Every structure is written in structure tokens, then in C-alpha cells.
Structure 1
Amino acid sequence: MDVPERTAEIATPTPSQLVSASARDAGLSLIRNLSVPKAFPDASLEAQFLEDHSRRFCAFRRASALLALTVWICFLWYDFNFGRVSTALEPVFMEIMALRVAGIVWLVFVMSLALRGSFATHAASQRVILMGVYGCNLLLLLLVAISPRPFNYTWYFVGLYLVFFFQFGFFYLKSMVALSAAVVTFSSIVLLQLTIRILSPEDFYMGMFYLFNVVVIGHGVCVHAERVSRERFAAERALGVLNNELLTANVQLERKNLDLLASKKDQDTKTRALISLKEQQTLAAETASREKSNFLAAATHDLRQPMHALNLFLQAAAEALRHDDVTEAARLIDESGRSSVILARFLNAVLDLSRLESGRVVPRYHVFDLTLAVSEVAEQLRPLAAMHGVELRLRMPRTPVFVRSDAHWLGRAIANLVSNGIRYADASKNILPVVIVGVVRSATRTRIDVVDNGIGIASEHWDAIFQPFFQVGNAEQDNDRGLGLGLSIVNAVVSMLEEHRIELKSTEGRGSRFSLEMPICGSPLGDTAPRARGDTADYLEVPLEGLYVVLVEDDSLVRASTEALLVQWGVLFDSASSFEEFEQILGSIERYPDLIITDFRLRDEKTAREVAKLGAVTLGRRCPFLVVTGEPAATIVPLACDHDVLSKPVSPAELRRQIASLISGRSFAETALRC
């Protein structure tokens, strides 16, 4: 089968798509801001809200009514001073003054009703406010009807805008009530225009246009105010429930304290204990908050370093290619890869530590041979030991040692301890740096010892080294000597696993010994013979040319980069961006896949489980699966097939090693047996 040629295209939204999305979001937001808030489903709760709303804004509504009266008096003064000297208004001057005075009398009457105690209730306040609103609107429409043009529009019709401002903005009416009052006024103006033509056509259309906009804007403000009030009422009610529960708990505590008064000595002792406990909890909370802040600050700082280096290396490589310096460009790209590996390792470590400390990781216990797990970790780290000039030795019992633990996280803890011993080897000594990894068995427990003759750890640092980002003898923050998170992850893993504990013994300048201890578990299959131990380092040398792989990945960027890597390895492949495309590929392939690589979570709520089931049914036989996902590996539900899980980001070497391991049938995951 020929290798398909594919061009990686990054899906970038077009300007029209961006405009369409922005318009859609704006439309949805406008609809929400103009939609009347729904009442509470419980009628009694809705009644409580209305009464609470009226009491909350009672004083403000009274002040708004007084302000409306003041504004009306100001307009009376304006009409009196300018209307009496206007020849156009002289014929209707007295009628205008009469309507203005009537408005003052009406608003004084409304103000007197607002000052009553009953105004704090919902029904009374709404009735009084609507009386004032409708009365002012009626008087203003009469002023518009009797005044000559253009004064009926420029002086009096615009007064309706002020009434709407008060109606929507100052009186905190229910949005539906305020909108209904505005619709009534709007309809009245239209009716008067059709019957007696109170305005010229030009003034009518212009005034109605502005009035409509005032209504829309005011309605939006009123809707927002009511929604905020409802949310606040709901929050306060929920807080009240919590307060009641707290009061109940306090009452129960008081009763217990009264019982303690029978013994003065016991009361004093327990009181001091409670005070001490409270101080300890406060101190623990402050310490945890401070440590979390320091952790985030350190993580942000250390994450920027490889990102900065990666950007500079890539830019320098691009410059070298523009100058046709291929050799220098290749060197810079290699350096970029190194920065990328450091960045991925750091990100994975931070995410692992965060998940472990948050308690979201649930251990998946299996019974497995501990010697095989330790051997595989050692083989994986031999290249690192060779790079640092460290001799890695194993001390294993001849018979299997079965333990019940989480194979994934225990393997991570062992790897972190061994790599920590390798990275902190003391090159200044005349003797050869050595790291010894041994498994020691007793009657009921077993212990993994990681011993090195490196720089050692002073006793004052024994507790601090298990804190994130603390490193002994690495003030320059050399990433080659670790990220300062390995022992933190070990400590979190040991705290999570049942009956596991870690012990440290170290002498500064002579080396350290970390001991990871756990209980022994009987073999689930009796006297099981040990498996042949494969050298995982050799997997990088396994040829992949000619393999046929089916890739299922819905992210176009990840899919394109994986395709490019498979092409360089000489792997034949078909790729699918969705579950439907994968189904089409299975229906047309002429060769059984050697491996299926898939993301765990795909579009349309499909997962790797559906991919595995479809592959087994269509192909008629088991096919190895490799799940490469952003999900935590420990949370992936086991598939009904041979599979391994890699957490993104994955280095090319790790991906190649896992592919070679699966096709060779020697994946470490097969050694784990459920208890």
C-alpha cells in the first residue's frame, strides 16, 4: 500500500465566519437582555420576592417621586417665565399653567401616598407608581394637544421621555409592568394622532422613533435590574438557609458546651484544645494558600523559560534556512526539540501533581510482580544514566514479589526516585557515580531501595525536598537536573496509595537512600513464573517501516503533526477526523491494521471505547490500540482490547517506543492483573 500524501491544513476561521459568529453572539445577548425574567416556579417564593423587592427600594422610590415633583415644578417655572412672553403660547397660556398646576397637585397626592407605611408593600407601591406615571403621561399628552406647533413637540412631547426615564430607571418596577405602561402610552399617542392629529406628521414620526428607542433601552435597563434583583434574592435566600443551618449547628454546639460545664477541668481542657485546633486550622489554611500561590508563581516562571527558548530557537532556525545554512538550522531545530521535551515534561509534572493533590485521582489497584515493574523502569532510564555517566545497577530477588498497588502511579514514583538519583550524581568524586535499585522482601512487606553515591542531602532539607520546586544544589535552575517536582509527585503518590510509605536516609557529600515500602500480596495465579523482561530501550531501535496504522484524531493540528511523523518513520497509514470517517476506512481497507492510534474523546460524544468496539466487530479480530489523549491516564476506562494510554503532550521518542512495545506484544500494561 502506498503512503498517502497529505497536506496539513490548519483550520482558520474566515473573516465571514468571525463576523457571523460575532453577530450571532450579539443577537443572543440582545435577546437575553430584552427578555422578561421568568418568575420563580414557586408562587409563594415569587410573592416573597416581590415584597422583598418593594421593601428594598421603598426609600429610593420615595426619593424618585420627590425628584419627579421637583422636575415638574421646574418645568412650571420654565413655562411661566417663557410662556407668558411668547405670542404663540399666549392663547393657551392659562390652560398650560392649569395643567402644570394640576400635575403638581397630582404628584403631591402621589407623594403623600408614597409616604404611607403601606407603600412598602408590592401591591400598594406598584399602584401608586402607576398612578403617578399614567397621570403625568395624560397631562403631557393634553399639553401636546392644546399647544401650537412646534412647541407641542419641542417643549411638551419630549417630557414623555423623562417620564419613561423615571418609569424604567428610577422606580424599579417589574420589567413586564414597566413595559406594559410604556405600551399603553405608546398606543395612546398613536390613537390620538389618528383621531385628532396632535402632532405634525414629521414631528410624529420623529418623536415616535425616539420614543421607541427610549422604550427599548429603558426596557433593557429594567430587565437587567430585575434580573439582578432576582439573582440577589435567590443568593440571599440560599445564604439564609446556610445561616439557619449554621445557627442550628451553633445551638447544638451550645448544648454540648453546657454539658461540658459540669466539669470545670474538662471544660478548660477542651476549650484550650478547640482554640489550639482553630489556630492550627487557620495556620494550615494560610500555609496552604501561601504554598499554592508560591507554587503557581514558580510554575509560571519555570514554564516561561523553555517556552522562551523554544521560540528563539525556532526563529533562529527560520533565519538560518533563509540564509541556506541547513546544518545550523538542523542544530537549532534539535535544540528546539530539546526545549519542547523539557516543556512537555514540566507541564505533565505540574498537571500530575495538581491532580494528585486535588484528590481527583482514584487509584486503580492491581496485583502484579513488583520486580518486573522495577526492571522496566530501570531499562527505560538506562539511556539517561549513560548520558550522565552513571552506572545503574539492579538488586532483585530470584522469585516474583507480588504487590497490590496502582501500577501506573507506582511506576511513576519509582521512575522519579531513580531519575532523581541519576541527575544528582556527584561528578567531582574520583569514584564512578552509581545508582543501585533493589527490591527487599520481608515476611509481610516489601521495600524498593534507591541508593546513590551522589551529592547527598543535608538533614535540614529532608522535609523541604518533598515540596514543589525545591532543589538542593541547583541554584542556577538547570533543567537537566530536574524540575523540582519529582519528589513532590512521589510524596503525593505515596500519600494516595493505601499502606505505602517512603523513608529517606542521606548524608551530605556521600549520597542518599530512598526506601518505598508497601505490603506484599499473594500471587493471584499461584506460583506464577516470572515473565521475560523486555528491554524497553531497544524499542527505539525496532523498525517501523511498512507498518499499517489507522489514526483517529479530531484535532486537525495534532492529526497533521502525527501524520508527518509517521511519514518520516516509513509507516503506512490512513487517518480519520471523526468516528464516521473511521467507519468508512474500516469498510474499504485491504489490509488488517497493525495498530490503531486514537484520541480518547472524539466529536459527537464518541470515545475510544466506540472506536475499539467498531474495530473488533468490523475486523473480526483483536487489534492493538494506543490511546493518545489529554485525559488523565488513570481515569481512562479499560478498553476491551490490548491497549496503552499516553497523556498529551507526548514526545516522538515516547510515541515510537510505545508503538514498538504494542506491536512487539511486550507492553508493561499486560503484567498487571486485577485483584
Structure 2
Amino acid sequence: MDVPEDIADMAAPKPSRLFSSSARDAGLSLVRNLSIPKPFPEAALEAQFLEDHSLRFCAFRRASALLALSVWVCFLWYDFNFGRESAVLAPVFMQIMALRLAGIALLVFVGSLTLRASFATHATSQRVILTGVYGCNLILLLLVALSPGPFNYTWYFVGLYLVFFFQFGFFYLKSRVALTAAVVTFSSVILLQLTIRILSPEDFYMGLFYLFNVVVIGHGVCVHAERVSRERFAAERALGVLNNELLTANVQLEKKHLDLLASKKDQDTKTNALLALKEQQMLAAETASREKSNFLAAATHDLRQPMHALNLFLQAAAEALHHDDVTEAARLIDESGRSSVILARFLNAVLDLSRLESGRVVPRYHVFDLKIAVLEAAEQLRPLATMHGVELRLRMPQAPVFVRSDAHWLGRAIVNLVSNGIRYADASKKAEPVVIVGVVRSATRTRIDVVDNGIGIASEHWDSIFQPFFQVGNAEQDNDRGLGLGLSIVNAVVSILEEHRIELKSTEGRGSRFSLEMPICGSPLGETAPRARGDTADLQTVPLDGLYVLLVEDDSLVRASTEALLVQWGMLFDSASSFEEFEETLNTIERYPDLIITDFRLRDSKTARDVAMLGATKIGRRCPCLVVTGEPAATIVPLACDHDVLSKPVSPAELRRQIASLISGRSEADAARVC
């Protein structure tokens, strides 16, 4: 079958194209052979190659140095036999001999250096070789400059070719170093010719031409040698890595073989151990499951009690109202509120313990006066002490006691310890029940002692009392004596705070002492100590009638219940279910609000911080802000205003107290803090 001409032309390349492709390949090959090889990308690998290269060619370099000495001696013999008979060289014969002998001395010195052990290193070998190369080139140039023509060219200038031959072909220098030495020599010849005319013009141009060609050819040989050496090093290194991997695999295979043999010998033992371990794991899992079930059962039981009471009280109040018995209905509603407070306290305790034991709580450390934290706890619990007929005494030093801790969680621990002492007072004793809270300091540490003269704790219960829901002497589970979580929370708080520890000393029937110890810190610079709250009873009597509040809450049920409570307290308010609605409200109000009550996290990624900043911008001045949130108070980002934080669920009494505290201006320290 005939092939079309155009297809035949495509199949067989034209001679011109073939020639062009071959010429391009030849040019690229020439450029590659004259291009200095790139070093390895890693400096450590490049240094390792240079040391390996020097060690590999160490013996050959020593032999080359000996060969160079032999060649130089031969030229000395030649100069001695023919130079002394030449009438032209006779005037400079002694100088020529002196330079030849100087060259011998130089090469003997260099040769002795090559015999030393340090010559095997890259830095030493390169320094020694370059000393010989530059020294011989210098002596040859002096011979050229000293000798008359044409002997300076025919006898001595050609010696430079031999030096180039050695430095490019015998010493295996890096191509860059060898080329640099050649360029220096080449430049020196040109400089000497321009200054003192060491050669005749004909000999100079001819010699320069040959010298240039020797440099180019020698550089190509040196580049090729270095490239081959680098490729060989890389291949040997890769082979070494593969050999190491193979050796490692063989070792692992041998180890597995030995393990297999050993496993066959003690298979019965391992099987029994595996069965025993499985049984232990099952027991551990059953224990953990049982403890979890017990915790849930106890929590469910304690949670159902106030919920059940709350439902019954509310239903009884409804029946009383149905029978127009307002007095009884009011009493039942008060009892409902008491059940609600117990329920809220229980939920907060369970949530706190859960957060602490889950590891999600990250302490926020700052320096503050420990005395103020103790005063706050005492003032908060004084009504509880009065209700239980317990005298609460404080014993503290006059000077401030600064510590570095998490004020929120440390305060919770102090409150739990003091309330525990109050609830377990022994009313059967003749002596008046007393709880003493003292701050004792030493040179480097301080401790809070909570001492009571209550029922005491038997030594066999000292570990158990820190477990959830364990209570001494409360078999009837009276909620007035606590929920059994207070000391568990104290133990969890101490475990997350650095260098804090709890100590217990107790005698059954006489009382207990809980000591919370921590390191002392220097006085804070530029920090405001936590505020000391006003007396709780005083705050409860602060009138709220006529106060104007802006309420921001996205939960309709919480918003409605808060509005109802504000109405009963005689407060005026505008409420918003979102940040956008709050912004619209700010544009229409005709009075400066006395307080903003807001949830922390709202819809559309808005927070109480956005509410506070918008309020300050729109109103024109900072307005106190009360954050009522389901998140931990310690995680709230500081707001751009005076603020307090309450964690849901909140009792109406606590909500009123916080409102009164902010409205009455009793947060001077917080007001000084700029967020």
C-alpha cells in the first residue's frame, strides 16, 4: 500500500531538523558538562559528602602530591644540566636554581602535611592542596618573569599547564575551587603581562590561548568527576538506607520469629493472663458502671425530691386560691420558692462537679487579696448561719494577704467549706455552735482554716466525705444539711489549682478543721482587688420601685418569668428577644436605663459584650450590666461596663441582691476595672 507523501514526511524527520536537534542536544550537554554541580540541598548532607569525598581520595591525593614533587625534581635536573650551559640563562642561573629549590621545599612541606591523619578531612586537605597549587603557580610566574625569552615561555610557562593538569585531574578538588584557582592564575598572567611584560606579545597570546583551553578542558573534567562523585555518594547513601531498612526488617523478622517461638512455649500462661485481665476489665467496667448508676440514682433521687415537693406545693397553692384562702396560698408559694432554691442549688452543684471532673474547666489566675474573698464568703453565708443558730467568727491578719489563684473557684471552695461547717453544727451540745474562719500565713504560704465544734467526722469516713452524695449523720437526707456535693466540689477545685491542697483534722463528737492551703504572692501591680460585697440583708431592703431596666433574653419562657418578677418588684422595663430588637429598643427609649439584664450568648453569634458595647454607644455612657447565663461565670469575657454574672438557675433572692448591688453603687472595685 502506498503511503501519502505528507504522512511519509511526518514519519521521517528532515535532515535539517535532525541536525538542529543534534546540535541543541550537543549544546545542552556541553553546558551541563561545564556547569558547576549544585550542592546537596541540606547543609548537613553536603558536609557529609565533602568529608566522604576527601576520605575516598585521600590516598590518591597523597600519591599525586608525591608525583608532583617528582616532576618538579625532574625539571630541576633539566635546569641544572642545560641551564648552566646556556649563555642566555647564565646571568639568572642561580636565581632559577633558588626558585626550583624553593619549589622542592614547598612540595616537600606539602607532602609532609598530606601524610598527617588530619589530611583525610575536607577542610585540611583543601587547604594543603591549594597551598601547593598557589605556591607552584607563584614560583612558575616568578621563573617566567625572571627568565629571558624565549626560554621563559618554552621552559617555564608550560609548567602552568602541568599545575592545571594536577589541580583539575589529580587532586579531585571541588570544581568551583579548582576553577577559582585557575582564574586567579589566569588573571595574574594578564596582570603581569600588562605591568612588567613577562612574555613577548606572540608568546603571550599563544600561551594565553593554550592556557584558556587547558582551563576549559580541565574544568570540564573536574566537573564530570565531581558530578560522578556526587551521584555515587547519593547512590551509596540510598543503598545504605535500603540496606539499613533491610537489616532492620531482618532484625524485626528474627525478633518476631523468636517471639513466635516464645509465644508457643508460654501460650497457656498468656491465655490465662488474658482471661484474668479480661475478668479484671469486666470487674472494673462493672464497678465504673455501678458507680455511675449509683451517682445517677442518687442525683435522680435528690432531684426528684424538691421537684416533687415543688409540684405538690404549687398544686396545693392553686387549690387554696380556688378556695379563696390567700394566706395559705401565700405560705404554700413561699414553700414552693424554697423547693425551687434547693433544686437550683442542687443543679448548680451537679453541673459544677461535672465541669470540674470532665477537665473542661481551665483556671483563670490573677492576684487578689485573700481576705476579701473570705469576707465575701462570710457575708454570703451569715444569713444561713443565723438561721441555723451558728455564730460565725472571723480571724484574719490586718495586712492584706495576696495570693495567685482563680477567685471564682477558690471562692466556691471557701463557701462550700464554711456552709458545710454551719449545716453540721451540733445543736445538742450545751456550748453555742460556732464556726471560725481564719487566715493564717507563713513566710511563703497561707491557709484558710474553717473550724467548727459540730458532730465531727470519724477517721474511717475521711476519704469517703469527698465522694459525691456521701454525708455523715444525714441518713434521712435532710436537704437543710446539704446535698452531699460540697466537699466533692472542694476536692475537685483543689485538684485543678496549682500548688493548692486541702487538709482535714477531725474528732468525732468534738468538731472538724478543714485547711485550704496555697502559696503567697507579691502585691499586684495595677490590679484591683475583688470587691467586698455589702451586707446581704441591707441589699435585700434596697427599694427597686421605679427603676428602669432593659431586658435581653432570647428564651421566651425565661423572658416571661423575669418580666413577671420585675413587675412584682415595681420595676419598669423594656424587653427584647434578640440583639436586633434590643438595638431598635435603644432607638426609641426616652429615659436612661438604670440597668441592663442580658443572657450572655444570643442568636446570630451575639453576646452580652455586644449588648454592653452597643448600650454604651447608643446611650452615651456606660450602663451597669447583669449577665444571667447558663454558662460558667469564670468563662465570661469581661464586658465594657460594670457588670456581675449569675449562673442559671438563679433564685429570686440572689437576682434581687445582685440588682440592688449594681444599682446602689456597691461595686466600686469593678467600676474601676476597664474591660
Give the TM-score normalised by the residue count of structure 2. 0.57
Q: Per-residue deviation at 1:634? A: 2.1
Mapping for residues 148-547 of structure 1, pairs under 5 Å? 287-525=287-525, 534-547=534-547
CA spacing shift, 1:673–1:493, aligned 2, 3 Å: farther
> Is contact 1:454–1:509 with CA below 8 Å preserved after alignment?
yes
Q: Per-residue deviation at 1:435? A: 0.2
Correspondence for 2:584: 584
- Opposite residue 336 of structure 2, the aligned amino acid is S
Mapping for residues 526-675 of structure 1, pairs under 5 Å? 534-667=534-667, 670=670
Correspondence for 1:231: none
> Is contact 1:379–1:537 with CA below 8 Å preserved after alignment?
no
Measure the CA separation in 2 of the matches of 1:350 and 1:506: 26
How far does the alpha carbon of each residue in 1:520-565 deviate from its partner, in whole angstroms, 9 at most, with x for none?
A: 1111128999976632442112222222111001112111111111
CA spacing shift, 1:672–1:497, aligned 2, 3 Å: farther
Q: Per-residue deviation at 1:363? A: 1.0
Q: Per-residue deviation at 1:571? A: 1.5
Correspondence for 2:53: none
- Opposite residue 466 of structure 1, the aligned amino acid is F
> Is contact 1:465–1:471 with CA below 8 Å preserved after alignment?
yes
Q: Per-residue deviation at 1:257? A: 14
- Opposite residue 328 of structure 1, the aligned amino acid is E
Q: Per-residue deviation at 1:517? A: 0.6
How far does the alpha carbon of each residue in 1:271-319 deviate from its partner, in whole angstroms, 9 at most, with x for none?
A: xx99999999887665443322211111011111111111111111111
**Higher RCO structure (Cα 8 Å, ≥6 apart):** 1
> Is contact 1:366–1:673 with CA below 8 Å preserved after alignment?
no
Measure the CA separation in 1 of the matches of 2:623 and 2:549: 11
Measure the CA separation in 2 of the matches of 1:673 and 1:621: 15
Measure the CA separation in 1 of the matches of 2:345 and 2:586: 35
How far does the alpha carbon of each residue in 1:573-603 deviate from its partner, in whole angstroms, 9 at most, with x for none?
A: 1111111111011112122211100011222
> Is contact 2:531–2:668 with CA below 8 Å preserved after alignment?
no
Measure the CA separation in 2 of the matches of 1:318 and 1:302: 25
SS in 1 for 2:368: strand
Measure the CA separation in 2 of the matches of 1:488 and 1:539: 31
- Opposite residue 553 of structure 2, the aligned amino acid is E
CA spacing shift, 1:539–1:322, aligned 2, 3 Å: same
Question: Number of paired residues?
Answer: 415
CA spacing shift, 1:543–1:472, aligned 2, 3 Å: same
- Opposite residue 471 of structure 1, the aligned amino acid is Q
SS in 2 for 1:454: coil
SS in 1 for 2:604: helix
Measure the CA separation in 2 of the matches of 1:529 and 1:635: 19
> Is contact 2:528–2:672 with CA below 8 Å preserved after alignment?
no
Comparing 665-674 with 586-595, greater Cα deviation is found at: 665-674
- Opposite residue 464 of structure 1, the aligned amino acid is S
SS in 1 for 2:587: helix
> Is contact 2:531–2:669 with CA below 8 Å preserved after alignment?
no
- Opposite residue 422 of structure 1, the aligned amino acid is I
Give me the identity figure in percent.
Answer: 90
Measure the CA separation in 1 of the matches of 2:410 and 2:277: 34
Measure the CA separation in 2 of the matches of 1:531 and 1:554: 30
- Opposite residue 399 of structure 2, the aligned amino acid is T
> Is contact 2:599–2:608 with CA below 8 Å preserved after alignment?
yes
Measure the CA separation in 2 of the matches of 1:480 and 1:330: 22
Q: Per-residue deviation at 1:630? A: 1.2
CA spacing shift, 1:257–1:314, aligned 2, 3 Å: farther
CA spacing shift, 1:357–1:527, aligned 2, 3 Å: closer
Measure the CA separation in 2 of the matches of 1:622 and 1:363: 29
Measure the CA separation in 2 of the matches of 1:484 and 1:340: 18
Measure the CA separation in 1 of the matches of 2:429 and 2:598: 48
- Opposite residue 476 of structure 1, the aligned amino acid is E
How far does the alpha carbon of each residue in 1:34-89 deviate from its partner, in whole angstroms, 9 at most, with x for none?
A: xxxxxxxxxxxxxxxxxxxxxxxxxxxxxxxxxxxxxxxxxxxxxxxxxxxxxxxx
Measure the CA separation in 2 of the matches of 1:390 and 1:606: 46
CA spacing shift, 1:447–1:577, aligned 2, 3 Å: same
Measure the CA separation in 2 of the matches of 1:511 and 1:297: 31
Give the TM-score normalised by the residue count of structure 1. 0.57
- Opposite residue 351 of structure 2, the aligned amino acid is L
CA radius of gyration, larger in: 2
Measure the CA separation in 1 of the matches of 2:292 and 2:581: 44
> Is contact 1:400–1:530 with CA below 8 Å preserved after alignment?
no
Measure the CA separation in 2 of the matches of 1:609 and 1:327: 44
Q: Per-residue deviation at 1:419? A: 0.5
> Is contact 2:595–2:624 with CA below 8 Å preserved after alignment?
yes
- Opposite residue 611 of structure 2, the aligned amino acid is V
- Opposite residue 291 of structure 1, the aligned amino acid is E
Measure the CA separation in 2 of the matches of 1:658 and 1:357: 29
> Is contact 1:550–1:575 with CA below 8 Å preserved after alignment?
yes
SS in 1 for 2:515: strand
Cα RMSD, aligned residues only:
3.3
- Opposite residue 424 of structure 2, the aligned amino acid is Y
CA spacing shift, 1:560–1:669, aligned 2, 3 Å: farther
Structure 1 gaps of 5+ residues are: 1-250, 262-272
> Is contact 2:376–2:532 with CA below 8 Å preserved after alignment?
no
SS in 2 for 1:605: coil
How far does the alpha carbon of each residue in 1:77-115 deviate from its partner, in whole angstroms, 9 at most, with x for none?
A: xxxxxxxxxxxxxxxxxxxxxxxxxxxxxxxxxxxxxxx
Measure the CA separation in 2 of the matches of 1:503 and 1:287: 28
- Opposite residue 295 of structure 2, the aligned amino acid is F
> Is contact 2:373–2:530 with CA below 8 Å preserved after alignment?
no
Measure the CA separation in 2 of the matches of 1:361 and 1:633: 11
> Is contact 2:551–2:575 with CA below 8 Å preserved after alignment?
yes
Correspondence for 2:113: none
Q: Per-residue deviation at 1:479? A: 0.5
- Opposite residue 651 of structure 1, the aligned amino acid is S
Measure the CA separation in 1 of the matches of 2:419 and 2:257: 55
SS in 2 for 1:659: helix
Comparing 616-625 with 472-481, greater Cα deviation is found at: 616-625
> Is contact 1:376–1:535 with CA below 8 Å preserved after alignment?
no
Structure 2 gaps of 5+ residues are: 1-250, 262-272
Q: Per-residue deviation at 1:672? A: 11
Measure the CA separation in 2 of the matches of 1:287 and 1:499: 31
Measure the CA separation in 2 of the matches of 1:527 and 1:595: 26
Correspondence for 1:42: none
How far does the alpha carbon of each residue in 1:389-416 deviate from its partner, in whole angstroms, 9 at most, with x for none?
A: 0000000110111111111111111000
